Amino acid sequence: MPKLPLTFACGLYDRMQSLQTGEVQVEGVDLNFLVDDNPRNIFDRMAAGQEFDAAEFSSSEYVSRFVANQCPFVAIPVFASRVFRHSFIFINKKHIKSPKELEGKRIGVPVYTMTAAIFIRGLLSDEHGIDFAKCEWVEGDINTAKPHGNPTILPTAKKLSISANKSGKSLSKMLEDGEIQAIIGTGVPEALGRNPDIVRLYPDYRAAEMDYYKRTRIFPIMHTVVIRRDVHEKHPFVASALYHALDQSKNLAWKKMNYRGTLRYMLPWMTEELDQINAVFGGDPWPYGVEPNRPTLSALVRYLEEQGVIAKAPKVDDLFAPVRQILPMTH
């Protein structure tokens, strides 16, 4: 029986490499792995025209579309990108002295509804009681005067003070000039390190992120993996087949990373990093599946509701197509 041709667009992360090289195969599928290391480009093409059979996709945008019943694809519980975001909160220290002072301020963000911004506002609200509904939001690219991609964004459930950056300056320059008081998002303003007034809200962000994870078990999920709904309905085996292949590819990356005879990556203190990862996470820091990620997924849907992006948080289990589970990897 011929294999099903399937296109899959994703960044070439270490956890995807064995799938991209063909070391790992998707059962019953002839996979065409399309590499694009600009995730915004993948999201925009998938949202606007469903250009791929399956793809990496923004977690917050997926949930928003799912809730609005405007979702032409289904997700599987594979998490292509995760990032702690304490290090992506930048302030002008002339205007902000403490986290609570962010309330009521004008804040730059690439896209209000982007997953990184959702988790940043969520953690700041949980940790410091900040009401971000009182803030004014300016959307735009951090280091150019352009928009951040060409997203097809659904209207927010609540009316919020969100405007596009029309200043002719980058958000970074606006932060320097005091026209905004903070930036949150996925990039680093070029003013950091050049202008002493532009600093991170959490200078020792690694310690803050580790403490946050130990207390909350939240490791923010930025991107999931989606399959076009018509493909899923016509070929339901694809969800489990792709899930298993992606899980196997990730497990191989983790196994290779843990080989300590030589350094696989250009990280001189890789051994110490691995020891610390194992101490904090107790093994694999990047599990797939719903259950090991329930604290993070529950936080995401709660934050989306609290921040006015969606009207009501869905049940986490309803977000994903059912897949056959496999035993977690040991090493």
Task: Kindly report the CATH number assigned to the domain that includes residue 142.
Answer: 3.40.190.10
* Domain termination site, one of 193, 216, 239: 216
The total domain count for the chain is 2
Residues 97 and 150 in one domain: yes
- Spatial separation of the C-alpha atoms in residues 157 and 307, rounded to whole Å: 9
Instruction: Label residue 192 by pLDDT band (50, 70, 90).
Output: very high
Instruction: Label residue 325 by pLDDT band (50, 70, 90).
Output: low
pLDDT at 153: 80
What number is the average pLDDT over the span 213-230?
98
Residues 258 and 300 in one domain: yes
Edge-to-edge order in the sheet of strand 29-35: 29-35, 4-10, 54-58, 221-228, 73-82
Residues 60 and 129 in one domain: no
Determine contact, residues 133/160, Cβ cutoff 8 Å: yes
Residues 54 and 139 in one domain: no
DSSP 164: E
Residues 126 and 182 in one domain: yes
Determine contact, residues 229/236, Cβ cutoff 8 Å: no
Residues 56 and 165 in one domain: no
Instruction: Label residue 149 by pLDDT band (50, 70, 90).
Output: confident
Residues 124 and 156 in one domain: yes
Residues 273 and 301 in one domain: yes
Residues 10 and 127 in one domain: no
In the block, residue with structure tokens 């035993």: 327
pLDDT at 324: 77
159 falls within a domain:
yes
What number is the average pLDDT over the span 235-261?
96
Residues 230 and 195 in one domain: no
To the nearest whole percent, how much of the chain has pLDDT over 90? 93
Q: Which residue has the higher pLDDT, 200 or 325?
A: 200
What number is the average pLDDT over the span 23-34?
97
* Domain termination site, one of 165, 183, 216: 216
Is the pLDDT at 194 greater than 50? The verdict is yes
Residues 78 and 90 in one domain: no
pLDDT at 331: 40
- Burial label for 203, CB within 10 Å (0-12, 13-18, 19+), is exposed
Rounded to a whole number, what is the largest CA-CA distance in the chain?
Answer: 67
pLDDT 10s digits, 79-112:
999 999 999 999 999 999 999 999 999 999 999 9
H-state helical runs in the chain: 17-21, 39-49, 59-67, 115-128, 171-176, 205-216, 229-234, 237-257, 270-281, 294-306
Structural domain for 302, as ranges? 4-82+220-319
What number is the average pLDDT over the span 150-160?
88
pLDDT 10s digits, 39-95:
999 999 999 999 999 999 999 999 999 999 999 999 999 999 999 999 999 999 999
pLDDT at 330: 43
Q: Which of 56, 59, 50 is nearest to 229 (CA)?
A: 50
123 falls within a domain:
yes
Is the pLDDT at 329 greater than 50? The verdict is no
Distances (CA, A) of 296 to 21, 72, 100, 222, 230: 30, 24, 24, 10, 28
What number is the average pLDDT over the span 232-249?
97
327 falls within a domain:
no
Q: Which of 84, 81, 115 is nearest to 12 (CA)?
A: 81
Strand, helix or coil for residue 83? coil
To the nearest whole percent, how much of the chain has pLDDT over 70? 98
329 falls within a domain:
no
- H or E, element range at 74: strand 73-82
324 falls within a domain:
no
What number is the average pLDDT over the span 206-235?
97
What number is the average pLDDT over the span 317-331?
72
* Domain termination site, one of 187, 216, 245: 216
Residues 224 and 102 in one domain: no
331 falls within a domain:
no
259 falls within a domain:
yes
